[in-house]
């Protein structure tokens, strides 16, 4: 059951991205950036957490969750240390994502060649 | 030619070529994005369940492990020259999700391999993904500051 | 003659040509018309840029071999490509050691080079000139658009850069193909901003050049067996015909497009082929072969170029375009 919900919610978020691409003629970078900002805004209203509880991977896998994780990490630390905590905690939750993307991107570039 | 005439010509041309532009098949593209994006999310859910069951990970850490695994898979698919074909088919189904982020980093790094490790691979890695990180951080800062301000004012 | 057209006093001929292409072109409808085909994009080298360089270098080598000429016997080398600072042409010129004129007019460079070569020969400044242009799918993608492995979805209006190089040896030695006249184009920009829609951007420039050519020489489209544009493709070609129709010029029965000739629709090339090599390899291979067989007696090749740069695109500038036309005539021996 949770697979179907993940499929549906994740798919819907991708449809939003596709509308931005086709109808509003955004470029891929613009689409990704917009979705991240949307994720951050949604987490500002505590809405993204509820989506994650509901849809699991369907909300964590889309790039909107990146925006959510940044705000989440910032808020956790901010609740401990005030305004300074925002900067201290912002990358806490996404750390695994960004660092693994860099590491695997690097290794791929070392060991493979682009195929065109 | 003065500016007004040029502007008028441009407007006229834009109107003229509009009927010649192929309209993207909106519904078909959205369907493809929905199916591929949803499918990858379902795979993510499967990976998460696998980790929880076999490796006893908690809800908190499993998200990181799941994303890390998907990022790894996307990087490998990029390396084998497969991800760009998925992307052409799925559109937002492949860039609106975290695998698209990984592909953006891996493909940029891979493309500039011929310029060496430091200036080529490392120097160009964030050509596309950089915008995502910048906007993510800046918007997160703004949102967090507002939230913190609101919380402080309420309490 | 007229506003923008040159007619040459002494007869200028295409003595020989050579074309070298990549895998996709070698699987296309014109595969038998190329001199050499590579079955992978690296062409046996270690980078995309080196591959493009090899294509141009070999095209020139094959071309001169056919005429039994050595590099030292060539007076000038006129060459160009799509890359920043024309690195392909420049580095090939380094290797060939022929006095070099570097040219950039994007995909219109092939005809620009032939025109300039004809001018130099006609003016008595040279006896043997070699012109060459090249393009490569991966070098163009990574310079103008995205890394080749990036999963972005390209729209239907996008074009597929031809991987290849075309070289021509131009001289006063009588052969079956004569450069009869050349029309130099003006830069025309009607506000198209997307590098994924170059067909629409280049159509006005092609229309202007064709119209001027016909007016300057007091000719009609019926004077030609074929009017072939470089790379307007599926999107730009109907726009071109429509623009000319508004001026009471109907080219629909003689119009062909190199970008549509070189690839078949089932090769996943979006709206068609583009790149400097597109007009060159189709003209120097297929079209000249048809001419030598006597199937085409007089053709006008209008190479179209989009003079854009990613920086200007990001600064929201539109794409200026240009088209140069050269008319070729079949000469009975």
Which residues, numbered 16 to 75 in chain A, qualify as contacts with chain C under a Cβ-Cβ cut-off of 8 Å? 21, 27-28
Cβ–Cβ gap B148/A78 under 8 Å: yes
Model pLDDT, residue B23: 82
Closest CB from B67, B91, B106 relative to A108: B106
Closest-CA distance, B42 to chain C, in angstroms, reads: 20
Nearest to C137 by CA among C10, C274, C265: C274
Cα(C228)–Cα(C206) distance, rounded to whole angstroms?
A: 10
Mean pLDDT (whole number) for A54-64:
90
Whether C137 and A21 lie within 8 Å, measured CB to CB: no
- Nearest CA to CA, how far is C53 from chain A (Å)? 17
pLDDT greater than 90 at residue C244: yes
Provide the pLDDT confidence category of residue A79 given band limits of 50, 70 and 90.
confident
Calculate how close chain B gets to C325, using CA atoms only, in Å: 23
pLDDT of residue A69: 92
Angle between helices B83-90 and B26-55 (to 10 degrees): 130
Contact A115 C48 (CB under 8 A): no
Q: Which residues contact C109 (CB under 8 A, 6 or more apart)?
A: C80, C81, C103, C133, C276, C303, C305
Q: Which residue of B has its CA nearest to A26?
A: B92
- Cβ pair B139:A6 closer than 8 A: no
Six token digits for residue C83: 């890359």
pLDDT for residue A53 is more than 90: no
- What are the pLDDT tens digits along chain B (155 aa)? 688 888 888 888 988 888 888 888 888 899 999 999 999 999 999 999 888 888 887 777 888 899 999 999 999 999 999 998 899 999 888 999 999 999 999 999 999 999 999 999 999 999 999 999 999 999 999 999 998 888 888 87
The token pair at B49 is 């369940």
Give the residue carrying structure tokens 């290797």: C95
The chain C residue lying nearest A30, using CA atoms, is C152
Per-residue pLDDT tens over the stretch C209-243: 999 999 999 999 999 999 999 999 899 999 999 99
Both tokens assigned to B65 = 């492990």
Residue A109 burial by Cβ neighbours in a 10 Å radius (0-12, 13-18, 19+): buried
List helix spans (H) across chain A. 2-22, 28-44, 47-55, 57-60, 64-81, 83-89, 95-111
B57 interfaces chain A, CB cutoff of 8 Å: no
pLDDT exceeds 80 at position A1: no
A57 with B76: Cβ contact below 8 A: no
Shortest Cα–Cα distance, B1 to chain A (Å) = 31
Structure tokens of C174?
A: 């009588």
Q: How many whole angstroms separate alpha carbon B130 and alpha carbon A19? A: 23
Are B121 and A106 spatial neighbours (Cβ–Cβ below 8 Å)? yes
Q: Do C148 and A21 touch (CB under 8 A)?
A: no
B102 touches chain C (CB under 8 A): no
pLDDT at B1: 62
For C148, which of B20, B95, B111 is closest by C-beta distance? B111
Q: How confident is the model at residue A114 (pLDDT cuts 50, 70, 90)?
A: confident
Among A6, A12, A65, beta carbon nearest to B42: A6
Closest chain A C-alpha to B2 CA, distance in angstroms: 30
**A54 shares contact with chain B (CB less than 8 Å):** no
Using DSSP's 3-state secondary structure scheme, residue C74 falls into: coil
- pLDDT at residue A2, as a whole number: 81
Q: Give, in degrees to the nearest 5, the angle at Cα C132 between C130 and C137.
A: 170
- What chain C residue is nearest to B81 in terms of C-alpha separation? C149
Contact between A106 and B102 using a beta-carbon 8 Å cutoff? no
Chain mean position to CA C90: 18
Could you give the CA distance from residue A106 to residue C273 in angstroms, rounded to a whole number? 33
- The model's pLDDT over C103-134, given as tens digits with 9 standing for 90+, comes to 999 999 999 999 999 999 999 999 999 999 99
Residue A9 CA to residue C64 CA, distance in Å, equals: 63
Out of C138, C152, C153, the one facing A116 most closely (by C-beta) is C138
Closest CB to A114: pick one of C148, C152, C153: C148
The residue assigned the tokens 């086709």 is A22
Touching subunits for chain A (3+ Cβ pairs under 8 A): B, C
CA nearest to C197 within chain B: B21
Q: Which residues, including other chains, have CB under 8 Å from residue C203's CB and lie 6 or more apart?
A: B17, C232, C236, C237, C239, C240, C243
Neighbours of chain B (3+ CB pairs under 8 A): A, C
User: From start to end of chain C, where are the E strands?
Assistant: 5-21, 36-37, 76-81, 100-102, 128-135, 160-161, 164-171, 177-183, 226-229, 255-257, 273-274, 298-306, 321-330
Contacts of A24 in chain C (CB under 8 A): none
B35-46 pLDDT tens trace = 999 999 999 999
The answer to whether A10 touches A55, Cβ cutoff 8 Å, is yes
Amino acid C167: pLDDT:
96
Query: Rounded to the nearest 5°, which phi and psi values hold at C173?
Result: -70, 130
Beta bridge partners of C130: C77, C169
Look-up of token digits 């067989």: C293
Strands C76-81 and C298-306: unpaired
- Nearest residue, CB atoms, B128 vs list C150, C197, C204: C150
Q: What is the pLDDT of residues C250-302, one digit of tens each?
A: 999 999 999 999 999 889 888 899 999 999 999 999 999 999 988 999 999 99
**Percent of chain C whose predicted confidence (pLDDT) is above 70:** 100
B82–A contact, CB cutoff 8 A: no
Half-sphere exposure (CA, 13 Å, Cβ side) for B27?
0
ipTM above 0.85, yes or no: yes
Cβ count within 10 A of residue B19: 10
């Amino acid at each position: 059951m949770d697979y179907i919900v993940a499929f549906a919610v994740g798919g819907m978020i991708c449809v939003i991205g596709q509308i931005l691409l086709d109808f509003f003629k955004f470029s891929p970078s613009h689409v990704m950036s917009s979705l991240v900002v949307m994720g951050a805004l949604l987490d500002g209203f505590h809405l993204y957490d509820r989506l994650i509880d509901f849809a699991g991977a369907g909300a964590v896998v889309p790039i909107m969750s990146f925006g959510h994780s940044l705000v989440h990490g910032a808020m956790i630390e901010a609740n401990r240390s005030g305004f300074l905590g925002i900067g201290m905690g912002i990358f806490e939750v996404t750390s695994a994502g960004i660092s693994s993307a860099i590491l695997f991107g690097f290794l791929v570039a070392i060991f493979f060649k682009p195929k065109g | 030619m003065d500016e007004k005439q040029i502007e008028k010509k441009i407007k006229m041309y834009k109107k003229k070529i509009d009927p010649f532009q192929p309209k993207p098949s909106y519904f078909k593209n959205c369907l493809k994005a929905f199916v591929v994006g949803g499918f990858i999310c379902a795979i993510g859910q499967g990976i998460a369940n696998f980790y929880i069951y076999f490796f006893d990970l908690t809800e908190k850490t499993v998200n990181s492990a799941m994303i890390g695994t998907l990022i790894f898979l996307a990087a490998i698919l990029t390396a084998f020259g497969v991800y760009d074909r998925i992307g052409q088919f799925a559109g937002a189904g492949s860039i609106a999700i975290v695998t698209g982020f990984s592909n953006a980093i891996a493909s940029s790094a891979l493309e500039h391999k011929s310029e060496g490790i430091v200036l080529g691979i490392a120097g160009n890695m964030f050509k596309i993904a950089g915008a995502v990180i910048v906007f993510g951080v800046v918007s997160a800062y703004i949102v967090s500051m507002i939230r913190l301000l609101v919380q402080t004012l309420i309490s | 003659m007229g506003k923008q057209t040159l007619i040459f006093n002494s007869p200028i001929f295409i003595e020989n040509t050579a074309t070298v292409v990549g895998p996709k072109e070698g699987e296309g409808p014109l595969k038998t018309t190329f001199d050499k085909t590579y079955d992978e994009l690296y062409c046996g080298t270690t980078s995309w840029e080196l591959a493009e360089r090899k294509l141009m270098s070999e095209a020139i080598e094959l071309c001169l071999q056919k005429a039994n000429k050595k590099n030292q016997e060539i007076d000038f080398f006129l060459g160009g490509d799509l890359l920043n600072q024309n690195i392909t042409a420049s580095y090939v010129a380094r290797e060939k050691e022929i006095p070099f004129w570097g040219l950039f007019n994007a995909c219109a460079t092939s005809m620009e080079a032939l025109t300039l070569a004809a001018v130099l020969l006609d003016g008595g400044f040279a006896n043997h000139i070699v012109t060459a242009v090249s393009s490569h799918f991966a070098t163009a993608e990574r310079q103008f658009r995205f890394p080749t492995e990036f999963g972005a979805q390209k729209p239907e209006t996008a074009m597929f850069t031809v991987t290849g190089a075309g070289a021509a040896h131009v001289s006063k030695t009588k052969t079956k193909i004569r450069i009869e006249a050349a029309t130099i184009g003006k830069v025309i920009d009607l506000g198209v901003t997307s590098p994924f829609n170059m067909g629409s951007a280049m159509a006005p420039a092609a229309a202007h050049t064709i119209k001027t050519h016909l007016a300057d020489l007091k000719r009609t489209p019926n004077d030609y067996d074929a009017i072939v544009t470089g790379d307007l493709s599926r999107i730009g070609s109907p726009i071109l015909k429509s623009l000319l129709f508004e001026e009471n010029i109907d080219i629909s029965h003689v119009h062909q497009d190199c970008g549509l000739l070189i690839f078949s629709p089932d090769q996943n090339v979006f709206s068609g082929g583009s790149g400097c090599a597109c007009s060159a390899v189709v003209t120097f291979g297929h079209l000249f072969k048809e001419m030598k067989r006597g199937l085409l007696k007089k053709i006008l090749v209008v190479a179209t170029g989009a003079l854009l740069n990613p920086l200007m695109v990001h600064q929201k500038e539109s794409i200026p375009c240009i088209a140069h036309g050269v008319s070729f005539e079949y000469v009975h021996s």
